[in-house]
Amino acid sequence: MKILISAYSCQPGQGSEQGVGWNVAQAVAKYHDVWVLTRPDEGKEAIEAELAGNPDLKLHFVYFTLPIWGGGWKWKFGSMQLHYYLWQIQAYFVARNLHRQIGFDLAHHVTFVKYSRPSFLSLLPIPFVWGPVGGGEFAPKAFWQDFSLSNKIHELARLFACWFFELDPFVRMTARRSVLAKATTEDTATKVRNLQASKVDIELAIGLSSQEIALLAKNLPAPSSEIRFLSVGRLLHWKGFYLGLRAFARANLTDGEYWIIGDGPEINKLEQLAENLGIARQVKFWKELPREETLLQLSKCTALVHPSLHDSGAGVCLEAMAAGLPVLCLNIGGPAVQVTEQTGFKILADNPQQAVEDLAEAMIKLSQNPQLAIALGEAGRKRVLECFSWEVKGRSLAKLYEQIVIQ
């Protein structure tokens, strides 16, 4: 079939939105002819290099940007959002002309992964698939008590922005005209249903390639008496790393360590918190490390602790599972979709005290039972291979397209 993909952000070898755009396109291109609408000023050189090295891929890229304000996406956050919106309008006219020439069977909006922004490809006279889209996740109100004033303002601003953009009639049009809307979490799925999408499935936007999975499997954790927990990510208030530190202190693992890899505005608060909790000598702040070194550290740890309060995806959880580590997360957002009882611990997020106590209990269980950590890690590796590899996701998407078009 002939598939049209909209990927505002698309670049091989990258994570986040860029990686989603590229990986979806190349995974589907193994089964169908794929045309991708994207921008030339972010990843064109890398894309063309990949295509030159893989001439069998049935991938065709159509690059364009706004004729007057082409570089506006490089400006501050608000400017990028406006640039993205205007680009989506332009994408419709580019797609309409292409459809007259090629005759697409189906259109699929892939990036940005935002439920509160429209895709005008839904106006084409062909089936339209939307997403996976995310962004409907918010920190539970009970946890706001630990936020600073600026952090509370940040959360309020996110809530207002989503409410405001949901009023856009074109967002509702996108939802209503989609034959299938995919949402990254149940929170976002609820919002997409409220926008009157007729069919909504839950699926993560992120994945791992077979090469990445093989690389992560090279350094599987060996059975060890050392207890070491690890958190990775930007040190932002909503990442919840303060919950991990409190839990580690409560678990009272005097011979254990807690490593934190990443940097961000909360680092001073986290360092001070470790001091106040009396665990500073057991906590190591690595700051930012190259990706290869970060992945190497996974093999030295007992488990990944990822107590994020609103993540649509959390690729680090998939990486940890592929590396054979159990994951400790809150039972909300993207991590709750990735992790099962067989691969880690999903902690209820009723309030901070309860979450800390349950995280501490999970840490104690893993510290007392190394074989449990190994069993959970092995189940995590199997789950990534079966559910979250780009090869599996591409095959599933190709079949989905066929089912939609045949109907």
Q: What's the pLDDT tens digit per position in 298-317? A: 888 999 999 999 888 888 99
Q: What is the pLDDT of residue 322?
A: 93
Which residues on adjacent β-strands are paired with residue 60?
35
DSSP code per residue over 2-45: EEEEEESS--TT--HHHHHHHHHHHHHTTTSEEEEEE-HHHHHH
The domain tally of the chain equals 2
Q: Read off the DSSP letter of residue 382.
A: H
Q: What is the pLDDT of residue 167?
A: 93
Q: What is the pLDDT of residue 302?
A: 92
CB 111 within 8 A of CB 17: yes
pTM higher than the cut 0.85: yes
Start-end of H helices in 218-313: 241-251, 267-277, 291-298
Q: What is the pLDDT of residue 274?
A: 95
Q: What is the pLDDT of residue 216?
A: 87
Q: How far apart are CA 326 and CA 302, in angstroms?
A: 8
Q: What is the pLDDT of residue 76?
A: 59
Note whether 168 and 152 are same-domain residues: yes
Which domain range does residue 351 map to?
Answer: 210-387
Angle at 312 between CA 197 and CA 140, to 5 degrees: 95
3-state secondary structure of 356: helix
**CATH number of the domain where residue 267 is located:** 3.40.50.2000
Note whether 246 and 363 are same-domain residues: yes
Q: How far apart are CA 342 and CA 378, in angstroms?
A: 9
Note whether 138 and 218 are same-domain residues: no
Q: Read off the DSSP letter of residue 273.
A: H
Note whether 264 and 173 are same-domain residues: no
Those residues whose C-beta lies under 8 Å from the C-beta of residue 252, and which sit 6 or more positions away, are none
Q: What is the pLDDT of residue 391?
A: 93
Q: What is the pLDDT of residue 69?
A: 65
What number of other Cβ atoms are within 10 A of residue 360's Cβ?
21
Q: What is the pLDDT of residue 73?
A: 54
- What average pLDDT does the chain have? 91
Q: What is the pLDDT of residue 188?
A: 95
Q: How far apart are CA 34 and CA 24, in angstroms?
A: 10
Radius of gyration (C-alpha) of the chain in whole angstroms: 22
Q: Which of the residues in the chain have pLDDT under 50?
A: none
Q: How far apart are CA 206 and CA 184, in angstroms?
A: 9
Note whether 153 and 293 are same-domain residues: no
Listed residue (146, 110, 102, 158) closest to 126, CA to CA: 102
CB 115 within 8 A of CB 133: yes
Note whether 180 and 221 are same-domain residues: no
Q: What is the pLDDT of residue 307?
A: 95
Q: What is the pLDDT of residue 313?
A: 82
Per-residue three-class SS string for 136-200: CCCCCHHHHHHCCHHHHHHHHHHHHHHHHHHCCHHHHHHHHHCCEEEECCHHHHHHHHHCCCCCE
Note whether 52 and 99 are same-domain residues: yes
Note whether 254 and 141 are same-domain residues: no
CB 325 within 8 A of CB 300: no
Q: What is the pLDDT of residue 236?
A: 92
- Residue indicated by tokens 């794929």: 34
Note whether 151 and 233 are same-domain residues: no
Which residues on adjacent β-strands are paired with residue 296?
none
Note whether 195 and 254 are same-domain residues: no
Q: What is the pLDDT of residue 82?
A: 86
Q: Is 26 exposed, middle or buried (0-12, 13-18, 19+ CB in 10 A)?
A: buried
Distance of CA 46 to the CA centre of its chain: 22
* Burial profile 323-341: b = 16 or more Cβ within 10 angstroms, e = fewer: bbbbbbbbebbbbbbbbbe
Q: What is the pLDDT of residue 77?
A: 57
Q: How far apart are CA 384 and CA 249, in angstroms?
A: 31
Note whether 243 and 176 are same-domain residues: no
Note whether 27 and 105 are same-domain residues: yes
Those residues whose C-beta lies under 8 Å from the C-beta of residue 51, and which sit 6 or more positions away, are 57, 59, 61
